[in-house]
Chains A and B, each alone.
Chain A
């Protein structure tokens, strides 16, 4: 089955800790994205990547970092600089970047602060 997987489903972070959220896709898509979802706020773009070894900041990149070493993988690190990390994080991918490209979403990771 082709699709997008995110792990873990739930993640707990302690104060001052960096945590990494995994996103893997086997759709052979070039473009990948990370969104943050807060209650009543819709989704906001954190980072996106059009191709391997390239990525761009979205609207709310502060306190986050990413890498894109493989086409299939786009992990997101929530650093200790992100002061309010509790949220639902969604990874998406599309065949390529562009306005006419449909983005497909993974099941999400919920991050909670201890």
Chain B
């Protein structure tokens, strides 16, 4: 079955520093991958998605992610973090059934001054 692992439960970065959130997937074929962000008590907002083509995907709010098939990874990056980026980040892969997303358990980002 398709699954996603986010190895880091919590990450703390200083404002202005670079960020990389890790995501590893388990999937036999070409995966359809997503990154979502969730602010406390809110719904999920799509940051970016990968279906095919260029392995470096640009998203909203200055985020990007790189699909690496050889490493089964889809890591999220941002060159310079802002305090407003503090939130929970979820990686997800579309299931074989085509009707659900399989989510990782999330990474909580804390941004310090």
Contacts and interface: CB of A to CB of B under 8 A. Distances in A.
Interface of A: 4, 6, 31, 33, 40-45, 48, 50, 56, 58-59, 90, 92, 97-100, 102-108, 110
Consensus secondary structure, chain B interface: loop
A45 B100 contact: yes
A108 B90 contact: no
Interface size class of B (residues with CB under 8 A): 20 to 34
Interface in B91-105: 92, 94-96, 98-101, 103-105
Contacts of A100: 32, 51, 94
Contacts of A50: 99
Given A42-B90, A43-B90, A100-B51, A105 B101 contact: no
A41 B9 CA distance: 11
Contacts of A108: 41-43
A110 B34 CA distance: 24
B44 A105 contact: yes
A3 to B, nearest CB: 10
